[in-house]
Amino acid sequence: MSDLLLKAPISYEPLRKNRWILRFPSNLGICEWWLSSASRPNVKINETKIEFLNTETYVAGKYNWEAMTIKLRDPIGPSASQAIMEWVRLHAESVTGRMGYAAGYKRDVELQMLDPTGVAVQTWVLKNVMITSSDFGSLDYSDDGLADISVTLRFDYAILAY
């Protein structure tokens, strides 16, 4: 058992779940420190079956990137609710009923995993991100927890830059 520990490299430092930043374009006004949780990109590859006589073989089929859910704290000021609603209004305006052009509401977002000193050691670039769902949370007089917002983001594809 003790020699098992000796085989691990001394310089091994794993990525941590609590060392990350999600960077939005500055014109959206979404602050990094509002985020309390997020998921990393998730890709699903379909399988295509090839039947021949009494056997089957498989090859990769279409693939798609799954939607990503983030959770934000909602401070009094600056307001996370207001910033998210401004982005939602670029998609669809509830007052006028007008829809936006994709070029107007889709944005690129970066998810950075950090080392212990705060340096980005892994960067995912999420391309053409749009909001598919915004949940501004529930309220309860018996709960003194923080108000939060859950947002589901759909992106066209992701690039693991490094």
Is it the case that residue 89 has pLDDT exceeding 60? yes
DSSP string, 41-89: --EEEEEEEEEETTEEEEEEEEEEEPPEEEEEE--TTTTHHHHHHHHHH
Instruction: Label residue 116 exposed, middle or buried (CB < 10 Å: 0-12, 13-18, 19+).
Output: exposed
pLDDT of residue 11: 73
Q: What is the pLDDT of residues 47-83, one digit of tens each?
A: 999 999 999 999 999 999 999 999 999 999 899 999 9
Q: What is the pLDDT of residues 136-146, one digit of tens each?
A: 999 999 999 99
pLDDT of residue 120: 96
Q: What is the maximum alpha-carbon separation in the chain?
A: 69
Residue 59 tokens, joined: 């090859």
Q: Which residues pair with 21 in a beta bridge?
A: 112
Is it the case that residue 8 has pLDDT exceeding 70? no
Instruction: Label residue 100 exposed, middle or buried (CB < 10 Å: 0-12, 13-18, 19+).
Output: middle
Residue range 84-90: average pLDDT?
96
Residue 87 tokens, joined: 């982005």
